[in-house]
Structure 1
């Protein structure tokens, strides 16, 4: 390996690591607020990429009907909770969401999808995928929000398996790759940096800054942060855990779909590719102890670099090498962790 090859591998590793870092941030965000390990996060990534590929091909994607189905399930669950347990819900918000979904369905079948500017295609894809997060939370997790972490994990795995099957029905077994944002490249010494790499790094930095501002400067962000620090105390202060769960799932769906859109021009994604991608983000989250955003981001970059260099030295074992990294961190965490909240209950 010479210096030029090392630079190329480093660029690829940092690019992949930035995507893993975004997924790691989603995993930590959802876990700290809701105690849910979001196994289906990879499906949001894959759905974002494959939906954009369908739009660019001019083929209406039936994923909008998944939105319709989840909306109907949500309405039925809210209606049952109201009549059986007198749990009130915001019916105005439900009507607005129903109109929003109806507009998305009409736009999917009426707009000239293939001829839209790429920016609008991406916005349309994100507009479709983002509501899947809170609706998935309402359908699968809200009724058991107070259950133990193991139960939540089992339900998360079940949701992942269900979404993989739904992905096969919607997108089929064939993989897809989207058009690059730009074909431009820039010379940095002996290294050629593609515009796609710059877009990924720019999106990573923008989202990190946006999340810092959201959690540090906005009322909703501070409410979520309070829920992450102390769920019971936040609830006593009037912060709704249901609201917190839906917002975090919406953020996870948005960031997950955006991550898929960012990597889809450089790699072919299939309906079942999401689990492996999110698992590498999970490694970064574990390095951060499922608590620290900065450490998780650094760990995810390290995962991307190790994966990139492993592909050069031992491509057949790169996955083994990457996932072996998690073992010493789990051992260290098990030796240094304190008495858990649930054990004390």
Structure 2
């Protein structure tokens, strides 16, 4: 291997690492606020890519109907809870409107927009809206009632949710893979390296999202409330911060990050209904570098995972996945020595 090949592999590793960084940040965010090891994060990535691919083919994406099904199921739970707790009529209306308004609007608007042959930027916005709206509904359906459960129980639920979403992905999108056109077809040569427009978009979008998250947590009241919940859930609840609202907001952000990651990776990788699981696992390996609690460490871990995968594919392409996932073993061993252990009751 000479320096030219090393530089090319390094660029490829950094590009993949930027995607894994977004997934890892979402995993750290969800775990910090809700204590949920969110295995289905990768499904949001796959749904984002497959939704855009369906829109580009002129078809109504299956995620629209999945979103509507989730909204109806959540509305049934809300009605059941309201009847049990004897809500007033005004609360019924406000809760049902909040649950059903956006999914119903998207299910009606998507077929109409497809008839108008919308431009790419509008397809991207529609994709982000559809997949992001699934986040709080998923929290409502699968996790909200178990917010006080142990981490192990929540992990088992996450495994079940992952298999359910994977199966639904197969039903709505089929077994064939999809790839979307690049957002920017330009190419720039810098010495031995060749930067594509899509690569620059990946770096730019990743940096912009990191800056936006920093400003959100540092400058906004909602972000500070989520930080308080991640530091001390009980103390935040005593100060009037709703744990359910924090969980719903966190899942909304995780769904948005996953959808954006899927849009960025779809032009360079063929996405299948189950591709998100592997991407999510690599993001999890990166998140483990920070003990599922440190954003900077998760970012560093994601870059490391991307570089290891890139160079591993050069030396032993058949074992690149094995190499990446083997890295987690010494990391877990190191974390077991440096982190204190607490018994959970």
| TM-score, normalising length: structure 1 | 0.96
List runs of 5+ in structure 2 lacking aligned partners: none
Q: Does residue 261 of structure 1 match 2:263?
A: yes
Q: CA deviation at 1:191?
A: 1.1
Match of 2:213 among 195, 211, 214: 211
Match of 1:290 among 289, 292, 297: 292
Q: CA deviation at 1:291?
A: 0.9
Q: Does residue 100 of structure 1 match 2:102?
A: yes
SS in 1 for 2:39: coil
**Does the CA contact (< 8 Å) of 2:37 and 2:155 recur in 1?**
yes
Q: CA deviation at 1:114?
A: 8.2
| Alignment correspondent of 1:40 | 40
Cα distance in 1 for partners of 2:234, 2:261 equals 32
Q: CA deviation at 1:298?
A: 0.8
Cα distance in 2 for partners of 1:123, 1:64 equals 14
Deviations 1:31-53 (CA, angstroms, capped at 9, x unpaired):
01000011110000000000100
SS in 2 for 1:131: helix
Q: Using a 3 Å threshold, how does the CA distance of structure 1 residues 305 and 65 change in structure 2: closer, same or farther?
A: same
Cα distance in 2 for partners of 1:96, 1:234 equals 24
Q: CA deviation at 1:69?
A: 1.0
**Does the CA contact (< 8 Å) of 1:55 and 1:114 recur in 2?**
no
Q: CA deviation at 1:143?
A: 0.7
Q: CA deviation at 1:327?
A: 0.7
Cα distance in 1 for partners of 2:99, 2:122 equals 21
Cα distance in 2 for partners of 1:167, 1:304 equals 26
Q: CA deviation at 1:337?
A: 2.4
Deviations 1:253-288 (CA, angstroms, capped at 9, x unpaired):
000011001000001010011111000000010001
| Alignment correspondent of 2:200 | 198
Deviations 1:132-165 (CA, angstroms, capped at 9, x unpaired):
0100000000011101111100000000000000
Cα distance in 1 for partners of 2:284, 2:315 equals 24
Deviations 1:217-275 (CA, angstroms, capped at 9, x unpaired):
10000000000000000000000000000000000000001100100000101001111
Cα distance in 1 for partners of 2:31, 2:114 equals 39
Q: Does residue 26 of structure 1 match 2:26?
A: yes
Match of 2:130 among 128, 142, 150: 128
Cα distance in 1 for partners of 2:99, 2:124 equals 20
Q: CA deviation at 1:188?
A: 1.4
Match of 1:138 among 137, 140, 144: 140
Cα distance in 2 for partners of 1:62, 1:344 equals 40
Cα distance in 1 for partners of 2:87, 2:265 equals 42
SS in 2 for 1:37: coil
Map 1:148-297 onto structure 2 (within 5 A). 148-297=150-299
Q: CA deviation at 1:344?
A: 5.6
SS in 2 for 1:192: strand
Q: CA deviation at 1:87?
A: 7.2
Q: CA deviation at 1:65?
A: 1.3
Q: Does residue 4 of structure 1 match 2:7?
A: no
Residues paired across the two proteins, number: 343
List runs of 5+ in structure 1 lacking aligned partners: none
Deviations 1:185-223 (CA, angstroms, capped at 9, x unpaired):
112122110010100010110010000000011000000
Cα distance in 1 for partners of 2:63, 2:24 equals 25
